[in-house]
A = this chain, B = another copy of it.
């Protein structure tokens, strides 16, 4: 942490900061400039944060220079991690395709979507049974009945299941069906939920909050990690900006940025970021090219009947092209497409 003193700070002001830091077990190094004095602090930053140094007389600013996250940081864990979901790896050597319906609606629709996903190269099945919806009048998901459908489709297709949990107190229930728990964008700062999935003993896919900074996203992962679970896959899914041509703005640069800061795998969701079917394939190509560790895609056998996010789902006619992208692009970034462990 660096303390920047105001131009008019007195010698007493400077000494007060030095004393406060010393009393908290830290050391303070003073650099006197022509207009300003800067004080570099060494010690426990969390401890310093409780001192409210910024509120002390003569202090203009307090700048944090170390990262506030530890367990998920690459500083302490230089090699990038691979998270394995029932034998399916997500990590630096592979590209993993996760696909399925946005929402589980019927057994038939879920099975057809899973077969579409598998045909395109998917090794994990996505599908929502609990849906967080902006409107209380919109379809909220089938709940446990949806989880049972997913489990049934897993048995038929061999695809492990990724599904969302929206409330801390549903974690045990969802974890009893799911192979990987998803925390959605609206819950990126639902700390009770983050802690509960951290304790659930299953891999977690953590979507970026639609307005989370990269640092806040990594802090959310830190909440999960702190409960002993480092099997976390980060998922960039678009951020809120002033542009309205797309539902959100895919922050594709976040992938290499996060890969430098954290050892956790990072995948991209090209379906939810744009909210438009015509963008899914171009953004999937870009995702692999930029170095994402996977993509997660909505597919639906009959999107015109979908109860949720139909306009963005890929359909049968798109699958050949998706399959071809999944075959050709990973090589170009020295990766291979993940295959099923049983295959």
A residues with a Cβ closer than 8 A to B are 2, 4, 7, 29-36, 38, 40-43, 46, 49-52, 54-56, 60-61, 63, 65-66, 68, 75, 132-139, 166-169, 186-187, 189-192, 210-211, 213-216, 219, 222-223, 226, 239-246, 249-257, 260, 273-274, 277-279, 282-283, 285-291, 303-307, 310-311, 328-329, 332-333
B42:A40 contact, CB within 8 angstroms: no
3 smallest CB-CB distances across A and B, nearest first, come from A31-B40, A29-B31, A211-B211
With A33-B42, A168-B167 known as contacts, the answer to whether A260 contacts B242 (CB < 8 A) is no
- Residues of B within 8 Å of A332, CB to CB, are 285, 328-329, 332
A68:B249 contact, CB within 8 angstroms: no
Question: 26 A-B Cβ contacts within 8 A?
Answer: A2-B63, A33-B41, A33-B42, A36-B66, A51-B304, A52-B303, A55-B311, A63-B65, A133-B191, A134-B219, A136-B226, A167-B168, A186-B190, A190-B190, A215-B245, A239-B242, A241-B241, A244-B244, A252-B252, A253-B273, A253-B279, A253-B283, A255-B282, A256-B279, A282-B289, A282-B291
Interface centre among A4, A257, A278 (most CB of B within 10 A): A257
Q: Which residue of B lies closest to A5 (CB)?
A: B65
With A169-B168, A250-B252 known as contacts, the answer to whether A42 contacts B52 (CB < 8 A) is no
A211:B214 contact, CB within 8 angstroms: no
Q: Which residue of B lies closest to A250 (CB)?
A: B253
Q: Which residue of B lies closest to A137 (CB)?
A: B46
Copies of this chain, complex-wide, total 4
A285:B279 contact, CB within 8 angstroms: no
With A31-B31, A56-B304 known as contacts, the answer to whether A189 contacts B134 (CB < 8 A) is yes
Cα A316 to Cα B255 in complex, Å, equals 25
Could you tell me the dominant secondary structure of chain A's interface residues?
mixed
B310:A55 contact, CB within 8 angstroms: yes
A289:B291 contact, CB within 8 angstroms: no
A46:B138 contact, CB within 8 angstroms: yes
- Residues of B within 8 Å of A60, CB to CB, are 65
Distance (Å) between the CB of A317 and the closest chain B CB?
Answer: 13
Distance (Å) between the CB of A52 and the closest chain B CB?
Answer: 4
- Residues of B within 8 Å of A190, CB to CB, are 186-187, 190
A52:B136 contact, CB within 8 angstroms: no
B31:A42 contact, CB within 8 angstroms: yes
Distance (Å) between the CB of A124 and the closest chain B CB?
Answer: 22
